[in-house]
């Protein structure tokens, strides 16, 4: 269902054509003065300039052509030649009815559907996730839901960090604790035990131990580097260990991601790019795209058009020790996806601080002809800060684990539930479920509502509040509508034909009509906050409507049925929007 503005644009465009002017001048948008009009068209001014005519005169002719249009209740010329348009109640009622009945709550599906890979989450095996990984997970998962909602085919890939020095550190750490394991026998080609020799707790203990030691002890560091190189070169025992490390980590990660309602289609990692690295390096050398420089192989990615900026450093394909790193695995992953998924676009939802890395990778991909740079997008985001304005840390300065963050959010949500005496007549199970949903709404919405690229301050007390621009406030709005509809149903009252009579009803209907535009903006800019903004304003418009009118208690049967219909439409759009944000609404609260 196209929105009203585009429907009016078509009508205005025809009016412009009818008086011998260009149709595109008829672009209609929301009025800057909602107290005076619903929509406005400024085309007469532009037309007047070109045609050297008086804009008010042109506007007058347009009014004549458009008066009587079934969507238009009132059209007037204002100021130097604006058209002010008020739409009919019937039009708005029809729109609301559409929102109420539609599976997409009044939104359009995309006409031009694409296959999109979204690379998000990006957790590292053994290294604890930090709050930046939270942002990637929540933003990436939301973009995935949004793209799917619009009809695109999406493949979400976690792209695990499972190929770097931390793997060598784990191997060395483990070999010191359990030197007799078969994985460490030189020349042992396997098979190796199917059972993992380590648990996630072991990894959480071993990694900081080994990484600390490799910082202070040079000989130890060399051991770790050697183990990493041997792993990458294919030593069978180490590869078998890697597989255990990955499996154990993924299992633990899924628990944390589940809490955030985040899921992936693929759990591939840097290590999965390995089979593509050698043929890719050969190809790039053969075609002269990679060149030798001080014993390393590089791809020059600086461009003349970069002038004025500091020159972009080259892409290191193979370092002088013969090793490959993060750049090369990312390029090989593009190579893999281009061949095997054949997407139109790849989105990388990763911390803004990796912007240079992705620029280099994307340019290298373009230069190599693997995948066009125009289809590769780095979706960067700002940092989550603590009270001190620096990246959020635990009280003792450590990284905040995602699991701790989830636990803290749930505790805070439970505190809110007991403060509000919500749990009085609910079962323990239901209270737990509501707590989880409040925590989910709080965490996701407080992240998503910010312009993606800005930093924000982590403040659980604010995030879990039932008031203000928060996830729980939106849940509260949805639950209030559900309760109201249940009550009406219990009294034998059903929704019926919708009429838009009062001012708050009109505003609510106009708000619902903005859903499509909000989704389009969120998709085009890859910015979920446009959708957050829409949903929040919808909840606000509903609140005003709710405060202004009796609904279930309305005496007039037709009015009551109409208002119940409005409530159903709002609930449908609210829940649809929240679902795209990955937020679940409880039945009561
Ligand atoms: N593991 C990386 C990190 O923790 C993020 C990976 C992002 N994705 C990618 N294809 N580079 O910083």
Write the pLDDT tens digit of every residue in 274-313: 999 999 999 999 999 999 999 999 999 999 888 777 889 9
Q: Which of 135, 159, 166 to mutate to test the pocket of ligand 1 (most atoms within 8 A of CB)?
A: 159
Q: Is the pLDDT of residue 139 over 80?
A: yes
pTM of the model: 0.95
Q: How confident is the model at residue 126 (pLDDT cuts 50, 70, 90)?
A: confident
Do 145 and 159 meet the contact criterion of CB atoms below 8 Å apart? no
pLDDT of residue 1: 60
Tell me the CA–centroid distance for residue 154 and ligand 1, in Å: 19
The alpha carbon of 473 and the centre of ligand 1 are apart by a number of angstroms equal to 33
Per-residue pLDDT at 322 exceeds 90: no
What band does 423 get if pLDDT is binned at 50, 70 and 90? confident
Query: Could you tell me the distance, in angstroms and rounded to a whole number, from the CA of residue 122 to the centre of ligand 1?
Result: 4
Atom of ligand 1 nearest to the CA of 350: 7
Phi-psi domain of 32 (left: phi exceeds 0; alpha: psi -120 through 50; beta: other): alpha
- The mean pLDDT value for 544-564 works out to 96
The CA distance from 242 to 248, in Å, is 10
Helix 200-216 and helix 165-177, axial crossing angle in degrees, nearest 10: 100
Task: Kindly provide the b/e burial profile for residues 234-255, where b requires at least 16 CB atoms within 10 angstroms of the residue's own CB.
Answer: ebebbbbbbebbbebbbebbee
Please count the residues of the chain. Answer: 589
With a pLDDT cut of 70, the percent of the chain lying above it is 100
Kindly report whether the peptide bond that precedes residue 411 is cis, defined as omega within 30 degrees of 0: no
Residues 397-409 pLDDT 10s: 777 788 889 999 9
Give the number of the atom of ligand 1 that is nearest the alpha carbon of residue 330: 10
Q: Which two tokens stand for residue 202?
A: 């072991």
Atom nearest to 270 CA in ligand 1 = 10
Query: Which has the closest alpha carbon to 122: 301, 329, 312?
Result: 329
Taking residues 1-28, report their average pLDDT.
92
Q: Show the ligand 1 pocket: residues with CB < 6 angstroms.
A: 119, 122, 124, 159, 161, 330, 348, 350
Distance 161 CA to ligand 1 centre (A): 6
122: alpha, beta or left, given left = phi > 0 and alpha = psi -120 to 50?
left
Could you read off the pLDDT of 494-548 as tens digits, one per residue?
Answer: 999 999 999 999 999 999 999 999 999 999 999 999 999 999 999 999 999 999 9
Domains detected in the chain:
4-87 (3.30.1360.70), 165-259 (no CATH)
* Atom 12 of ligand 1: nearest residue by CA position: 122
Pocket test of ligand 1: the residue of 130, 132, 134, 161 to mutate, having most ligand atoms within 8 Å of its CB, is: 161
């Amino acid at each position: 269902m196209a929105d009203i503005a585009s429907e009016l644009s078509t009508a205005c465009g025809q009016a412009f054509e009818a008086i011998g002017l260009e149709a595109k001048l008829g672009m209609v948008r929301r009025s800057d003065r909602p107290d005076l009009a619903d929509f406005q068209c400024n085309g007469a001014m532009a037309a007047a300039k070109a045609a050297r005519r008086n804009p008010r005169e042109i506007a007058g002719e347009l009014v004549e052509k458009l008066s009587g249009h079934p969507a238009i209740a009132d059209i007037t010329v204002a100021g130097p030649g604006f058209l002010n348009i008020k739409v009919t109640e019937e039009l708005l009622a029809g729109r609301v009815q559409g929102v109420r009945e539609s599976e997409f709550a009044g939104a359009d599906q995309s006409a031009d559907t694409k296959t999109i890979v979204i690379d998000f989450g990006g957790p590292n095996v053994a290294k604890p996730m930090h709050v930046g990984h939270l942002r990637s997970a929540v933003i990436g998962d939301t973009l995935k839901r949004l793209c799917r909602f619009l009809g695109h085919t999406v493949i979400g890939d976690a792209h695990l960090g499972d190929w770097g020095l931390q793997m060598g550190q784990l191997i060395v750490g483990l070999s010191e604790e359990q030197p007799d394991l078969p994985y460490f026998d030189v020349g042992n080609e396997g098979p190796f035990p199917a059972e993992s020799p380590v648990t996630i707790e072991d990894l959480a203990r071993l990694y900081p131990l080994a990484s600390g030691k490799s910082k202070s002890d040079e000989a130890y560091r060399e051991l770790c580097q050697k183990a990493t190189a041997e792993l990458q070169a294919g030593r069978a025992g180490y590869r078998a260990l890697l597989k255990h490390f990955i499996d154990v980590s993924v299992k633990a990660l899924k628990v944390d991601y589940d809490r955030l309602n985040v899921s992936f289609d693929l759990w591939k990692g840097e290590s999965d790019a390995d089979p593509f690295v050698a043929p890719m390096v050969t190809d790039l050398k053969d075609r002269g795209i990679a060149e030798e420089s001080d014993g390393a192989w590089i791809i020059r990615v600086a461009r003349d058009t970069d002038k004025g900026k500091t020159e972009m450093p080259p892409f290191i394909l193979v370092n002088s020790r013969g090793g490959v790193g993060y750049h090369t695995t990312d390029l090989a992953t593009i190579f893999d996806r281009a061949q095997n998924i054949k997407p139109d676009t790849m989105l990388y939802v990763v911390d803004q601080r990796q912007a240079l890395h992705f620029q280099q990778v994307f340019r290298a991909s373009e230069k190599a002809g693997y995948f066009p740079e125009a289809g590769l997008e780095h979706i960067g985001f700002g940092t989550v800060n603590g009270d001190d304005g620096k990246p959020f840390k635990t009280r003792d300065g450590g990284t905040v684990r995602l699991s701790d963050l989830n636990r803290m959010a749930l505790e805070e949500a439970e505190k809110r539930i007991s403060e509000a005496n919500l749990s009085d007549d609910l079962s323990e199970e239901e209270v737990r479920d509501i707590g989880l949903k409040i925590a989910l709404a709080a965490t996701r919405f407080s992240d998503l509502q910010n312009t993606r690229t800005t930093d924000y301050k982590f403040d659980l007390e604010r995030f879990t509040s039932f008031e203000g621009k928060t996830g729980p406030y939106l849940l509260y709005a949805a639950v209030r509508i559900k309760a109201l509809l249940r009550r009406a149903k219990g009294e034998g009252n059903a929704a019926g034909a919708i009429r838009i009579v009062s001012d708050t009803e009109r505003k609510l209907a106009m708000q619902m009509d903005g859903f499509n535009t909000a989704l389009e903006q969120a998709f085009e800019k890859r910015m979920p906050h446009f959708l957050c903004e829409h949903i929040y304003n919808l909840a606000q418009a509903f609140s005003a409507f709710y405060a202004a009118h009796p609904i279930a208690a309305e005496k007039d049967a037709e009015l009551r049925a109409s208002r119940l219909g409005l409530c159903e439409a709002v609930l449908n759009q609210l829940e649809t929007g929240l679902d795209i944000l990955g937020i679940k609404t409880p039945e009561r609260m």
